[in-house]
Structure 1
Amino acid sequence: MILRCNTGGTRTDNFAFFIYAFSSLFAIVSPVGGVITFVSLTSDMSLDEKNYLASKSVILACIIALFFAVTGQIILNFFGVSIDSLRVAGGILLFVVAFDMILAKVSRESVTEKEIDISMERSDIWIFPIALPLLTGPGTITTIIVLMGSAVSVLQRGEVIAAILLTFLITGVLFHFSRRIYKFLGYTGMLVFTRLMGLLLAAMAVNFITIGIWNIYLSFQ
Protein backbone atom coordinates (compact mmCIF):
# COMPACT_ATOMS: atom_id res chain seq x y z
CA MET A 1 0.00 0.00 0.00
CA ILE A 2 1.27 3.48 -0.87
CA LEU A 3 1.10 5.98 1.99
CA ARG A 4 0.04 9.52 1.28
CA CYS A 5 1.81 12.59 2.58
CA ASN A 6 -0.10 15.43 4.13
CA THR A 7 1.58 17.94 1.86
CA GLY A 8 0.16 16.39 -1.29
CA GLY A 9 1.12 13.45 -3.47
CA THR A 10 2.45 10.09 -2.33
CA ARG A 11 5.71 9.24 -0.69
CA THR A 12 6.67 7.38 -3.83
CA ASP A 13 5.87 10.46 -5.95
CA ASN A 14 7.86 12.73 -3.64
CA PHE A 15 10.87 10.43 -3.65
CA ALA A 16 10.72 10.18 -7.44
CA PHE A 17 10.55 13.98 -7.66
CA PHE A 18 13.65 14.30 -5.45
CA ILE A 19 15.57 11.84 -7.64
CA TYR A 20 14.43 13.76 -10.72
CA ALA A 21 15.47 17.11 -9.21
CA PHE A 22 18.84 15.81 -8.05
CA SER A 23 19.67 14.07 -11.33
CA SER A 24 18.69 17.20 -13.28
CA LEU A 25 20.88 19.46 -11.16
CA PHE A 26 23.79 17.03 -11.06
CA ALA A 27 23.71 16.71 -14.85
CA ILE A 28 23.66 20.46 -15.53
CA VAL A 29 26.21 21.38 -12.83
CA SER A 30 28.34 18.44 -14.02
CA PRO A 31 30.88 18.57 -11.16
CA VAL A 32 33.02 15.77 -12.64
CA GLY A 33 33.33 17.69 -15.90
CA GLY A 34 34.00 20.85 -13.89
CA VAL A 35 36.96 19.14 -12.25
CA ILE A 36 38.86 19.39 -15.56
CA THR A 37 38.51 23.18 -15.63
CA PHE A 38 39.09 23.48 -11.88
CA VAL A 39 42.35 21.50 -12.06
CA SER A 40 43.62 23.65 -14.93
CA LEU A 41 42.80 26.88 -13.05
CA THR A 42 44.44 25.77 -9.79
CA SER A 43 47.42 23.85 -11.16
CA ASP A 44 49.96 26.33 -9.77
CA MET A 45 48.39 26.51 -6.29
CA SER A 46 49.35 24.61 -3.17
CA LEU A 47 46.97 21.95 -1.86
CA ASP A 48 45.72 24.23 0.95
CA GLU A 49 45.17 27.14 -1.43
CA LYS A 50 43.31 24.90 -3.87
CA ASN A 51 41.04 23.47 -1.15
CA TYR A 52 40.32 26.92 0.27
CA LEU A 53 39.38 28.19 -3.18
CA ALA A 54 37.22 25.10 -3.77
CA SER A 55 35.29 25.73 -0.56
CA LYS A 56 34.68 29.40 -1.33
CA SER A 57 33.60 28.82 -4.92
CA VAL A 58 31.20 25.96 -4.09
CA ILE A 59 29.65 27.86 -1.17
CA LEU A 60 29.11 30.93 -3.34
CA ALA A 61 27.63 28.84 -6.15
CA CYS A 62 25.28 27.15 -3.67
CA ILE A 63 24.15 30.51 -2.28
CA ILE A 64 23.42 31.78 -5.80
CA ALA A 65 21.46 28.60 -6.57
CA LEU A 66 19.42 28.90 -3.36
CA PHE A 67 18.74 32.57 -4.08
CA PHE A 68 17.14 31.77 -7.43
CA ALA A 69 15.27 28.83 -5.90
CA VAL A 70 13.60 31.25 -3.48
CA THR A 71 13.16 34.25 -5.78
CA GLY A 72 12.79 32.58 -9.19
CA GLN A 73 8.99 32.69 -9.29
CA ILE A 74 9.00 36.32 -8.13
CA ILE A 75 11.38 37.23 -10.97
CA LEU A 76 9.18 35.43 -13.51
CA ASN A 77 6.07 37.22 -12.23
CA PHE A 78 7.86 40.58 -12.37
CA PHE A 79 8.70 40.10 -16.04
CA GLY A 80 5.38 38.43 -16.85
CA VAL A 81 7.01 35.17 -17.96
CA SER A 82 5.20 31.86 -17.39
CA ILE A 83 6.97 28.79 -16.07
CA ASP A 84 6.09 26.93 -19.27
CA SER A 85 7.70 29.61 -21.44
CA LEU A 86 10.81 29.23 -19.30
CA ARG A 87 10.61 25.45 -19.75
CA VAL A 88 10.75 25.83 -23.53
CA ALA A 89 13.49 28.49 -23.53
CA GLY A 90 15.45 26.68 -20.83
CA GLY A 91 15.07 23.36 -22.63
CA ILE A 92 16.60 24.83 -25.77
CA LEU A 93 19.47 26.29 -23.72
CA LEU A 94 20.04 22.99 -21.91
CA PHE A 95 20.09 21.12 -25.22
CA VAL A 96 22.85 23.43 -26.49
CA VAL A 97 24.82 22.79 -23.29
CA ALA A 98 24.19 19.04 -23.59
CA PHE A 99 25.34 19.06 -27.22
CA ASP A 100 28.62 20.68 -26.17
CA MET A 101 29.04 18.11 -23.38
CA ILE A 102 28.43 15.22 -25.78
CA LEU A 103 31.15 16.63 -28.03
CA ALA A 104 33.36 17.02 -24.93
CA LYS A 105 33.66 20.75 -25.45
CA VAL A 106 33.70 23.53 -22.87
CA SER A 107 30.14 24.78 -22.97
CA ARG A 108 29.55 28.19 -24.52
CA GLU A 109 26.83 28.64 -21.90
CA SER A 110 29.24 28.40 -19.01
CA VAL A 111 32.74 29.63 -19.80
CA THR A 112 34.85 29.95 -22.94
CA GLU A 113 38.40 28.76 -23.45
CA LYS A 114 39.53 32.39 -23.78
CA GLU A 115 37.95 33.29 -20.43
CA ILE A 116 39.73 30.34 -18.81
CA ASP A 117 43.08 31.54 -20.17
CA ILE A 118 42.47 35.10 -18.94
CA SER A 119 41.33 33.86 -15.52
CA MET A 120 44.68 32.15 -14.91
CA GLU A 121 46.16 35.58 -14.10
CA ARG A 122 43.40 36.70 -11.71
CA SER A 123 43.10 36.20 -7.94
CA ASP A 124 39.30 36.04 -7.78
CA ILE A 125 38.78 32.99 -9.97
CA TRP A 126 36.66 31.44 -7.21
CA ILE A 127 33.98 33.98 -8.14
CA PHE A 128 34.49 34.05 -11.91
CA PRO A 129 34.63 31.72 -13.69
CA ILE A 130 34.28 28.90 -11.12
CA ALA A 131 31.25 29.84 -8.99
CA LEU A 132 29.64 31.81 -11.77
CA PRO A 133 29.13 30.71 -14.49
CA LEU A 134 30.93 27.32 -14.37
CA LEU A 135 28.80 25.92 -11.52
CA THR A 136 25.78 28.23 -11.58
CA GLY A 137 25.41 29.36 -15.17
CA PRO A 138 22.16 30.24 -16.93
CA GLY A 139 21.40 26.55 -17.48
CA THR A 140 21.66 25.76 -13.77
CA ILE A 141 19.57 28.78 -12.78
CA THR A 142 16.90 27.93 -15.35
CA THR A 143 16.76 24.32 -14.18
CA ILE A 144 16.32 25.40 -10.56
CA ILE A 145 13.50 27.81 -11.36
CA VAL A 146 11.71 25.21 -13.51
CA LEU A 147 12.06 22.57 -10.78
CA MET A 148 10.65 24.94 -8.17
CA GLY A 149 7.79 25.78 -10.53
CA SER A 150 7.13 22.08 -11.08
CA ALA A 151 6.87 21.34 -7.35
CA VAL A 152 3.26 20.74 -6.30
CA SER A 153 3.76 20.94 -2.55
CA VAL A 154 5.88 22.52 0.15
CA LEU A 155 7.59 19.18 0.63
CA GLN A 156 8.65 19.01 -3.02
CA ARG A 157 9.99 22.56 -2.88
CA GLY A 158 12.02 21.46 0.12
CA GLU A 159 13.25 18.51 -1.92
CA VAL A 160 14.54 20.87 -4.60
CA ILE A 161 16.43 22.78 -1.89
CA ALA A 162 17.79 19.47 -0.58
CA ALA A 163 18.81 18.45 -4.12
CA ILE A 164 20.69 21.75 -4.51
CA LEU A 165 22.52 21.25 -1.20
CA LEU A 166 23.39 17.63 -2.03
CA THR A 167 24.61 18.54 -5.52
CA PHE A 168 26.97 21.22 -4.24
CA LEU A 169 28.07 19.06 -1.30
CA ILE A 170 29.18 16.41 -3.80
CA THR A 171 30.74 19.14 -5.95
CA GLY A 172 32.73 20.41 -2.96
CA VAL A 173 34.03 16.92 -2.20
CA LEU A 174 35.00 16.32 -5.84
CA PHE A 175 36.77 19.69 -6.04
CA HIS A 176 38.70 18.98 -2.84
CA PHE A 177 39.91 15.68 -4.29
CA SER A 178 40.09 17.03 -7.85
CA ARG A 179 43.77 16.24 -8.40
CA ARG A 180 43.39 12.65 -7.21
CA ILE A 181 40.25 12.19 -9.31
CA TYR A 182 41.94 13.66 -12.36
CA LYS A 183 44.94 11.38 -11.83
CA PHE A 184 42.71 8.31 -11.31
CA LEU A 185 40.24 8.82 -14.16
CA GLY A 186 42.54 10.64 -16.53
CA TYR A 187 41.46 13.21 -19.08
CA THR A 188 39.84 10.60 -21.33
CA GLY A 189 37.86 9.01 -18.51
CA MET A 190 36.47 12.35 -17.40
CA LEU A 191 35.45 13.21 -20.95
CA VAL A 192 33.59 9.90 -21.22
CA PHE A 193 31.67 10.74 -18.03
CA THR A 194 30.95 14.23 -19.34
CA ARG A 195 29.52 12.76 -22.56
CA LEU A 196 27.23 10.47 -20.55
CA MET A 197 25.99 13.42 -18.49
CA GLY A 198 25.47 15.34 -21.72
CA LEU A 199 23.25 12.57 -23.07
CA LEU A 200 21.18 12.57 -19.88
CA LEU A 201 20.93 16.36 -19.97
CA ALA A 202 19.80 16.29 -23.61
CA ALA A 203 16.95 13.93 -22.68
CA MET A 204 15.94 16.26 -19.84
CA ALA A 205 16.06 19.24 -22.20
CA VAL A 206 13.66 17.50 -24.60
CA ASN A 207 11.40 16.73 -21.64
CA PHE A 208 11.40 20.40 -20.61
CA ILE A 209 10.53 21.51 -24.14
CA THR A 210 7.75 18.99 -24.75
CA ILE A 211 6.06 19.62 -21.38
CA GLY A 212 6.33 23.38 -21.86
CA ILE A 213 4.88 23.32 -25.38
CA TRP A 214 2.08 20.95 -24.35
CA ASN A 215 1.08 23.10 -21.36
CA ILE A 216 1.16 26.27 -23.47
CA TYR A 217 -1.04 24.52 -26.03
CA LEU A 218 -3.52 23.46 -23.34
CA SER A 219 -3.67 27.00 -21.96
CA PHE A 220 -5.09 28.21 -25.28
CA GLN A 221 -7.81 25.54 -25.39
Structure 2
Amino acid sequence: MMHDMDLLELLKAALALFAIVDPVGVIPIFLMATHGFTLTQSRAAARIAALTVLGVLTIFAFAGETLLTFFGIRLAAFSVAGGLLLLLLALSMVEAHVSPQRQTQDEAVEAEEKDSVGVVPLGVPLLAGPGAITHVIVAAGALEGHTLQRGLLLLPVGLVALSVWLAFRAAPVIAKRLGKTGIHVVTRLMGLIIAAISIEMIARGLGELFPGLLT
Protein backbone atom coordinates (compact mmCIF):
# COMPACT_ATOMS: atom_id res chain seq x y z
CA MET A 1 0.00 0.00 0.00
CA MET A 2 1.31 3.44 -0.85
CA HIS A 3 1.95 6.03 1.84
CA ASP A 4 0.02 9.30 1.82
CA MET A 5 3.22 11.08 0.80
CA ASP A 6 3.61 8.78 -2.20
CA LEU A 7 0.04 9.49 -3.28
CA LEU A 8 0.71 13.21 -2.90
CA GLU A 9 3.88 12.94 -4.99
CA LEU A 10 1.97 11.01 -7.65
CA LEU A 11 -0.77 13.65 -7.78
CA LYS A 12 1.80 16.44 -7.97
CA ALA A 13 3.61 14.58 -10.75
CA ALA A 14 0.39 14.24 -12.75
CA LEU A 15 -0.61 17.90 -12.42
CA ALA A 16 2.88 19.22 -13.08
CA LEU A 17 3.40 16.94 -16.07
CA PHE A 18 0.14 18.12 -17.62
CA ALA A 19 1.20 21.74 -17.14
CA ILE A 20 4.63 21.09 -18.66
CA VAL A 21 3.39 19.15 -21.69
CA ASP A 22 0.55 21.69 -22.16
CA PRO A 23 -1.35 19.89 -24.95
CA VAL A 24 -3.84 22.76 -25.33
CA GLY A 25 -1.07 25.31 -25.77
CA VAL A 26 0.53 23.19 -28.51
CA ILE A 27 -2.71 23.02 -30.54
CA PRO A 28 -1.77 26.02 -32.77
CA ILE A 29 1.52 24.29 -33.64
CA PHE A 30 -0.33 21.03 -34.32
CA LEU A 31 -2.70 22.84 -36.67
CA MET A 32 0.22 24.51 -38.44
CA ALA A 33 2.21 21.26 -38.68
CA THR A 34 -0.75 19.35 -40.10
CA HIS A 35 -1.89 22.07 -42.49
CA GLY A 36 -3.03 20.45 -45.71
CA PHE A 37 -3.49 17.03 -44.09
CA THR A 38 -6.61 15.00 -44.72
CA LEU A 39 -8.76 14.20 -41.68
CA THR A 40 -7.30 10.68 -41.61
CA GLN A 41 -3.73 11.98 -41.74
CA SER A 42 -4.44 14.55 -39.02
CA ARG A 43 -5.90 11.91 -36.73
CA ALA A 44 -2.96 9.60 -37.42
CA ALA A 45 -0.55 12.40 -36.45
CA ALA A 46 -2.49 12.94 -33.21
CA ARG A 47 -2.30 9.22 -32.38
CA ILE A 48 1.42 8.96 -33.18
CA ALA A 49 2.21 12.08 -31.12
CA ALA A 50 0.37 10.65 -28.10
CA LEU A 51 2.13 7.27 -28.43
CA THR A 52 5.50 9.04 -28.72
CA VAL A 53 4.83 10.94 -25.50
CA LEU A 54 3.81 7.72 -23.76
CA GLY A 55 6.86 5.79 -24.97
CA VAL A 56 9.51 8.44 -24.32
CA LEU A 57 8.30 9.39 -20.83
CA THR A 58 7.84 5.73 -19.84
CA ILE A 59 11.43 4.96 -20.79
CA PHE A 60 12.76 7.85 -18.72
CA ALA A 61 10.49 7.00 -15.77
CA PHE A 62 12.22 3.62 -15.48
CA ALA A 63 15.71 4.23 -16.89
CA GLY A 64 16.28 7.93 -16.27
CA GLU A 65 17.90 7.56 -12.84
CA THR A 66 20.10 4.72 -14.13
CA LEU A 67 21.37 7.02 -16.87
CA LEU A 68 22.18 9.68 -14.28
CA THR A 69 24.11 7.13 -12.21
CA PHE A 70 26.02 6.01 -15.31
CA PHE A 71 27.15 9.58 -15.95
CA GLY A 72 27.82 10.23 -12.26
CA ILE A 73 25.15 12.92 -11.92
CA ARG A 74 23.32 13.32 -8.62
CA LEU A 75 19.55 13.63 -8.74
CA ALA A 76 19.78 16.89 -6.78
CA ALA A 77 22.07 18.40 -9.43
CA PHE A 78 19.75 17.21 -12.17
CA SER A 79 16.85 18.76 -10.26
CA VAL A 80 18.58 22.15 -10.22
CA ALA A 81 19.52 21.92 -13.92
CA GLY A 82 16.02 20.76 -14.80
CA GLY A 83 14.48 23.53 -12.72
CA LEU A 84 16.49 26.14 -14.60
CA LEU A 85 15.44 24.57 -17.89
CA LEU A 86 11.80 24.60 -16.83
CA LEU A 87 12.10 28.22 -15.76
CA LEU A 88 13.30 29.20 -19.24
CA LEU A 89 10.41 27.23 -20.73
CA ALA A 90 7.96 28.92 -18.35
CA LEU A 91 9.21 32.40 -19.28
CA SER A 92 8.67 31.69 -22.97
CA MET A 93 5.18 30.33 -22.26
CA VAL A 94 4.27 33.44 -20.24
CA GLU A 95 5.19 35.42 -23.35
CA ALA A 96 2.97 33.00 -25.34
CA HIS A 97 5.56 31.89 -27.87
CA VAL A 98 7.31 28.61 -28.61
CA SER A 99 10.55 28.17 -26.69
CA PRO A 100 13.66 27.17 -28.71
CA GLN A 101 13.92 24.30 -26.20
CA ARG A 102 10.72 22.85 -27.62
CA GLN A 103 11.18 23.54 -31.32
CA THR A 104 14.13 24.80 -33.36
CA GLN A 105 13.90 26.20 -36.87
CA ASP A 106 15.18 22.95 -38.39
CA GLU A 107 12.59 20.93 -36.46
CA ALA A 108 9.85 23.24 -37.70
CA VAL A 109 10.93 22.50 -41.28
CA GLU A 110 10.70 18.76 -40.58
CA ALA A 111 6.99 19.24 -39.89
CA GLU A 112 6.49 19.17 -43.64
CA GLU A 113 7.15 15.43 -43.66
CA LYS A 114 3.73 13.93 -43.02
CA ASP A 115 5.01 10.49 -42.13
CA SER A 116 7.08 11.71 -39.20
CA VAL A 117 5.25 14.82 -37.99
CA GLY A 118 3.64 12.92 -35.11
CA VAL A 119 7.05 11.89 -33.81
CA VAL A 120 9.14 14.99 -34.67
CA PRO A 121 8.49 17.78 -33.87
CA LEU A 122 5.13 17.10 -32.18
CA GLY A 123 6.02 14.11 -29.97
CA VAL A 124 9.64 15.12 -29.40
CA PRO A 125 10.64 17.80 -28.49
CA LEU A 126 7.37 19.79 -28.38
CA LEU A 127 5.54 17.52 -25.94
CA ALA A 128 8.00 15.01 -24.48
CA GLY A 129 10.74 17.61 -24.37
CA PRO A 130 13.53 18.35 -21.89
CA GLY A 131 11.12 19.79 -19.34
CA ALA A 132 8.79 16.78 -19.28
CA ILE A 133 11.70 14.30 -19.28
CA THR A 134 13.37 16.13 -16.41
CA HIS A 135 10.18 16.16 -14.38
CA VAL A 136 9.55 12.44 -14.90
CA ILE A 137 13.08 11.54 -13.75
CA VAL A 138 12.82 13.75 -10.66
CA ALA A 139 9.33 12.43 -9.85
CA ALA A 140 10.59 8.84 -10.17
CA GLY A 141 13.39 9.64 -7.73
CA ALA A 142 10.91 11.16 -5.27
CA LEU A 143 8.99 7.87 -5.22
CA GLU A 144 11.95 6.17 -3.50
CA GLY A 145 12.86 4.14 -6.56
CA HIS A 146 10.66 1.09 -5.82
CA THR A 147 9.61 -0.68 -9.01
CA LEU A 148 5.91 -0.79 -8.09
CA GLN A 149 5.79 2.86 -7.06
CA ARG A 150 7.77 3.92 -10.10
CA GLY A 151 5.38 1.88 -12.23
CA LEU A 152 2.55 3.97 -10.84
CA LEU A 153 4.08 6.93 -12.69
CA LEU A 154 2.65 5.29 -15.78
CA LEU A 155 -0.76 6.55 -14.59
CA PRO A 156 0.03 10.28 -14.95
CA VAL A 157 2.13 9.58 -18.04
CA GLY A 158 -0.74 7.64 -19.60
CA LEU A 159 -3.28 10.32 -18.67
CA VAL A 160 -1.11 13.04 -20.19
CA ALA A 161 -0.65 11.00 -23.38
CA LEU A 162 -4.43 10.52 -23.51
CA SER A 163 -4.96 14.26 -23.05
CA VAL A 164 -2.58 14.90 -25.95
CA TRP A 165 -4.55 12.57 -28.20
CA LEU A 166 -7.90 14.08 -27.19
CA ALA A 167 -6.65 17.66 -27.53
CA PHE A 168 -5.19 17.06 -30.98
CA ARG A 169 -8.27 15.14 -32.16
CA ALA A 170 -10.40 18.09 -31.10
CA ALA A 171 -7.84 20.70 -32.25
CA PRO A 172 -9.99 22.33 -34.94
CA VAL A 173 -12.98 22.68 -32.57
CA ILE A 174 -10.87 23.89 -29.60
CA ALA A 175 -9.02 26.44 -31.73
CA LYS A 176 -12.32 27.79 -33.06
CA ARG A 177 -13.90 28.01 -29.58
CA LEU A 178 -10.92 29.46 -27.70
CA GLY A 179 -9.53 31.56 -30.50
CA LYS A 180 -5.91 32.66 -30.68
CA THR A 181 -6.31 34.87 -27.61
CA GLY A 182 -7.86 32.09 -25.53
CA ILE A 183 -5.07 29.66 -26.33
CA HIS A 184 -2.49 32.31 -25.41
CA VAL A 185 -4.24 32.82 -22.05
CA VAL A 186 -4.10 29.07 -21.33
CA THR A 187 -0.42 28.97 -22.30
CA ARG A 188 0.41 31.91 -20.01
CA LEU A 189 -1.42 30.33 -17.06
CA MET A 190 0.47 27.05 -17.60
CA GLY A 191 3.68 29.08 -17.79
CA LEU A 192 3.04 30.60 -14.35
CA ILE A 193 2.42 27.14 -12.87
CA ILE A 194 5.61 25.77 -14.42
CA ALA A 195 7.60 28.76 -13.12
CA ALA A 196 6.49 27.97 -9.56
CA ILE A 197 7.31 24.26 -10.06
CA SER A 198 10.77 25.13 -11.40
CA ILE A 199 11.57 27.31 -8.37
CA GLU A 200 10.55 24.45 -6.07
CA MET A 201 12.81 22.05 -7.99
CA ILE A 202 15.76 24.45 -7.80
CA ALA A 203 15.24 25.11 -4.09
CA ARG A 204 14.92 21.38 -3.29
CA GLY A 205 18.00 20.52 -5.32
CA LEU A 206 20.10 23.27 -3.77
CA GLY A 207 18.95 22.22 -0.32
CA GLU A 208 20.24 18.68 -0.95
CA LEU A 209 23.47 19.79 -2.59
CA PHE A 210 24.23 22.37 0.10
CA PRO A 211 22.60 21.28 3.40
CA GLY A 212 21.78 24.26 5.59
CA LEU A 213 21.94 26.73 2.72
CA LEU A 214 18.19 27.42 2.69
CA THR A 215 17.53 27.08 6.41
Which of the five TM-score ranges fits, normalised by the shorter chain? Answer: over 0.9
TM-score when normalising by structure 2: 0.92
Count of paired positions: 211
**CA–CA distance in 1 between the matches of 2:59 and 2:7?**
23
Q: TM-score, normalised by structure 1?
A: 0.90
Cα deviation for residue 164 of structure 1 reads: 0.6
- The residue type equivalent to 2:80 in the other structure is V
Q: Sequence identity, in percent?
A: 33
Answer yes or no: is the 8 Å Cα contact 2:46–2:164 preserved in 1. Answer: no
**Structure 2, gaps ≥5 residues long:** none
* Aligned residue in 2 for 1:204: 197
- Structure 1 residue aligned with 2:57: 65
CA deviations 1:163-187 (Å, max 9, x no partner) are 1111111111111111111111111
Which residue of the other structure, out of 99, 103, 112, is the alignment partner of 1:121? 112
1:94 corresponds to which of 82, 86, 110:
86
Moved over 6 A (4+): none
Q: Which residue of 1 aligns with 2:132?
A: 140
Q: Report if the CA contact (8 A) 1:99-1:198 is conserved.
A: yes
Match of 1:27 among 1, 4, 19: 19
Distance 1:79 1:91 in 2: 19
Residue matched to 1:173: 166
1:43 deviates by 2.1
Letter in 2 for 1:106: V
For the aligned residue pairs, the C-alpha RMSD in angstroms reads: 1.7
The 3 A distance-change label for structure 1 pair 156 and 181 is same
- Deviation, 1:121, is 2.7
Structure 1, unmatched stretches of 5+, are none
Task: Provide the secondary structure at the position in 2 that maps to 1:199.
Answer: helix
Deviation at 1:153, TM superposition (A): 6.3
Contact 2:111 2:121 in 1 (8 A): no
Query: Once the 2 structures are TM-superposed, how far is the Cα of residue 115 of structure 1 from its aligned partner?
Result: 3.4
Indicate the residue corresponding to 1:78 in structure 2.
Answer: 70
CA contact (8 A) 2:107 2:120 kept: no
Give the aligned partner of residue 156 of structure 2: 163
In the TM superposition, 1:45-64 aligns within 5 A as 45-64=37-56
